A = this chain, B = another copy of it.
Amino acid sequence: MRILIVVAHGSRRAPSNEEVAALTEQLGERLEGRYAGVTTAFLELAEPSIPAAIDAAVAAGADEIVLLPYFLAAGSHVAEDIPQLVAQRRQAHPGVAMTLLPHLGASERLPALLASLV
């Protein structure tokens, strides 16, 4: 059973976190059948945390977890904080495959999307 976790930064502003949750829901509809579940986790300032979301996925029966960092630039959150948290959960759940994808900002399709906006 494979679960996707969209990992966002988190904000003090609830509408910002709800925006991410809504996007995750849209993504889940698009991916129907490819993942048993698509959820959101936040690095800070909002819940659930990344460890909590991973633990919940494992408790729900996931044996494969894919994490997509919903970040644009490879700052310290992407380069250090998120990999550290995932590494810790890997040790806690040795039977679960965890794949940390490249962050959104690394997508080659971003320039085309930006060009469509301006």
Q: Report chain B residues within 8 Å CB of A75.
A: 9, 11-13, 16
Q: Is A113 an interface residue (CB 8 A)?
A: yes
- Give the contacting residue for A11; candidates B73, B107, B115; CB below 8 A: B73
Q: Which residues of A (20-52) have their CB < 8 Å from a CB of B?
A: 20, 23, 26-27, 30-31, 34-35
Q: List 7 A-B contacts (CB under 8 A).
A: A12-B75, A16-B75, A19-B73, A20-B72, A30-B112, A66-B118, A104-B114
Binding site for B on A (CB under 8 A): 4, 6, 8-9, 11-13, 15-17, 19-20, 23, 26-27, 30-31, 34-35, 66, 68, 70-76, 78-79, 101-102, 104-105, 107, 109-118
